[in-house]
Amino acid sequence: MAIDAHPRPVDSLRIDVPACADRLADIRHRLIDWLTPIGLSAEDIADIVLVVNEAATNCIEHAYRDVDDGVIRLSAEDDGRRIFVDITDFGVWRPPAAAPDSTRGRGLPLIRAITAEVDIDASAGGTTVRMTFSPSRQVCGNRTT
């Protein structure tokens, strides 16, 4: 993945897709396409895509489990210093079944470890996970923050 030596301002991004696992790749690809001209390192792009994918997967598994249709909304903005990504569902949160030997439940700690800040707003109308990233920027080949 090439990094643009001269970051360009980008418009905000909004993606609405059906809440099904086969649409996660579409979210990842469109997010990468949006992040690339901003001038982030390949590592920062990979980290952002990783946790956004995790949050979107949680929508499918928890908000829309046993539901035939639902929507995942991704909204992203770049203010020149930070990147804000919201993942929103319009479903009802359903906690996973308890399993003592389960390897599940690592998504939110992963999101918290990679983001500068994460806020979760859950209501009867759905859940929004707002992730704030403070990545390094590439400027004319010199790494800046």
- Superfamily the domain 14-97+105-144 falls into: Histidine kinase-like ATPase, C-terminal domain (3.30.565.10)
Asked if residues 73 and 130 have their Cβ atoms less than 8 Å apart, the reply is: no
What interhelical angle do 42-58 and 24-35 show, nearest 10? 150
Domain assignments of the chain as residue spans, ordered by start: 14-97+105-144
What 8-state DSSP symbol labels residue 39? T
Inform me whether the pLDDT recorded for 132 exceeds 60: yes
pLDDT for 95 equals: 61
What are the tokens at 122?
């859950």
Res. 17: pLDDT tops 80: yes
The pLDDT of residue 64: 82
